[in-house]
Amino acid sequence: MPSEGSYQSLSELHRSRVVEYLHRNGVSSRADISQALGLTPAAITKISAKLIELGIISETGTVEGKRNRRALGLTLNNSKYRVIGVKFARSLVQIGVFDISGLQHSLLDLPPVKDAHISDTISEIKRIIRDLLRNDPNIIAVGMSVPGPYLRHDGRIAVVTSMPGWTDISYADEFENAFPVPTFIEHDARSGALAESLFDPRITSDTIAYYLVGEGVGLGVMDHEQLVNGDRGAATEIGHISIDINGRPCKCGNVGCLECYCSAVAVHQELIDSDILAQDHPDIASMTHRDACNALFAASNAGNARATELLRNISRYVGYGCVNIINAYNPRQIIIGDIMAQAGDILLTTVQKVLRERIVPEILNSTEILLSTLTSDPAITGAAATAANQFLRYPSLFARNT
């Protein structure tokens, strides 16, 4: 006979399974849920009644069941539950509001962050979040995605190339108890993997890798639906794997790190050091990293041969990262996202060419390479997914807080 606590945990587990099924499959009948989850019809009736009582799901119309019989459908009340997502990316901070289906309701870009003004940025983030919470009672949690390596037990980042001031910040101390709703903090690439898993209908595997190529280069791996974290949360740091033992020095102390060659910061520096875009963008040095990369993509699309050559060279480095991801983790699907993914087909075709040259065909043939198509940047959507995932796992807890 289980104790009361374990009985409650088992009940919440079953509620979570029903909520997650509705999240992934949309309107469904009780019979469909019963068959899919291997629970008895009586159990599903009891679970759904409790979830309806809590306001987490609703009955909606009828759906076609077995033998063409009509049955009442159940749906997740996505619009009733919203989360705030905050993306930290060195000089870039974004704050968005999403519902638990991943639908974006608002998105705010803060002014580019300077290393000397990080404390002011933190104060502004807190002010904005408190205003959002005050004006929207349906917001149930805050999720944050931060660059890695993120030491989750310490609540801080070990190293941030180009913005060392962020390493002095304890995200846990600053944010975990700063608001009247819970705050969840995750490594940016891992939160991106969560976002792809929860919100991208093309993701059909439970073994995936989200390859973040933005201001930094990161990796989030889900192995059979579990995030790979490592001992201190510093696993899967693909950006600091050396691809050239005699290469460029990195702020992490290593040399030849991948992010020194294909991050948006590295690309921006290449553009400053060259005259590829000088005629159309004499102000290239003062542009944001994102805007500089977008200018490169536009120039390549317009037929600038030197821009295209540079973009192909950068894309080859992105491909070398994919080689390491496949050999180290063997994911079924790799999703490339963030700033450099906006390069589109030229990036994807170059990466695929590199993989054909360097990966065992039997393994490559079972690996799918995708560019992220989420409406928002997967890292900001991932911040929201970090919070939404907690709702999906513990729905009753959040229902009591609304």
Render pLDDT for 213-229 as a digit per residue (tens, 0 to 9).
998 899 999 999 899 98
Q: Is the pLDDT of residue 319 over 90?
A: yes
Contacts for 197-201: CB closer than 8 Å, 24+ residues apart? 197/222, 197/225, 197/385, 198/23, 198/102, 198/385, 198/388, 198/389, 198/392, 199/101, 199/102, 199/374, 199/381, 199/385, 200/335, 200/372, 200/373, 200/374
Nearest to residue 171, comparing CAs of 212, 229, 215, 125?
Answer: 125
The pLDDT of residue 188 is 85
The pLDDT of residue 400 is 52
The pLDDT of residue 65 is 60
Token pair, residue 332, equals: 């079924």
Q: What is the DSSP string of 210-241?
A: EEEESSSEEEEEEETTEE---SSS----GGGS
**3-state class of 344 per DSSP?**
coil
The pLDDT of residue 326 is 97
Q: Is the pLDDT of residue 287 over 70?
A: yes
Query: Sorting pLDDT into bands at 50, 70 and 90, what band is 375?
Result: low
Please give the average per-residue pLDDT across 265-291, as a whole number.
93
Nearest to residue 259, comparing CAs of 242, 246, 236?
Answer: 242
Q: Which residues of 70-99 are buried (b: 16+ CB within 10 A; e: fewer)?
A: eeebbebbbebbbbbbbbbbbbbbbbbbbb
- Phi, psi angle pair for 51, to nearest 5°: -65, -35
pLDDT digits (tens, 9 = 90+) for 336-347: 999 999 999 999
H/E element holding 78? none
The pLDDT of residue 181 is 95
Q: Are 341 and 371 in contact (CB under 8 A)?
A: yes
251 against 137, higher pLDDT:
137
Please give the average per-residue pLDDT across 12-18, as a whole number.
91
Please give the average per-residue pLDDT across 180-186, as a whole number.
93
The pLDDT of residue 166 is 78
The pLDDT of residue 286 is 93
Q: Are 74 and 28 in contact (CB under 8 A)?
A: yes
The pLDDT of residue 376 is 60
- Taking all residues of the chain, what is their mean pLDDT, rounded to a whole number? 89
Q: Is the pLDDT of residue 377 over 50?
A: yes
In Å, how far from its chain's centre is CA 59?
A: 31
Nearest to residue 141, comparing CAs of 195, 192, 178, 196?
Answer: 178
Taken in order of first residue, the domains within the chain and their CATH numbers are 4-76 (1.10.10.10), 80-195+378-401 (3.30.420.40), 201-371 (3.30.420.40)
- Phi, psi angle pair for 71, to nearest 5°: -140, 155
63-77, 185-199, 363-377: least confident range? 63-77
- Any residues with CB less than 8 A from the CB of 391 and at least 6 apart, and which? 19, 81, 83, 100, 140, 141, 398
The pLDDT of residue 7 is 40
Residue 100 to residue 103: CA distance in whole angstroms: 7
Express as a percent the part of the chain with pLDDT over 90: 60
pLDDT digits (tens, 9 = 90+) for 65-105: 655 667 889 999 988 999 999 998 777 889 999 998 888 99
In the block, which residue shows the tokens 């999240």? 23
Q: What is the DSSP string of 33-73?
A: HHHHHT--HHHHHHHHHHHHHTTSEEEEEEEE-GGG-EEEE
- Any residues with CB less than 8 A from the CB of 7 and at least 6 apart, and which? none
Q: Is the pLDDT of residue 149 over 90?
A: no
Token pair, residue 368, equals: 């799918």
Residue 241 to residue 357: CA distance in whole angstroms: 20
**3-state class of 85 per DSSP?**
strand
Query: Sorting pLDDT into bands at 50, 70 and 90, what band is 163?
Result: low
Q: Which one of 212-226, 227-241, 290-304 scores highest in mean pLDDT?
A: 290-304
The pLDDT of residue 1 is 33
Residue 175 to residue 120: CA distance in whole angstroms: 14
- Any residues with CB less than 8 A from the CB of 195 and at least 6 apart, and which? 102, 210, 374, 378, 379, 381, 382, 384, 385
Nearest to residue 148, comparing CAs of 115, 183, 184, 191?
Answer: 191
Please give the average per-residue pLDDT across 148-162, as a whole number.
73
The pLDDT of residue 66 is 58
Q: Is the pLDDT of residue 308 over 90?
A: yes
The pLDDT of residue 68 is 62
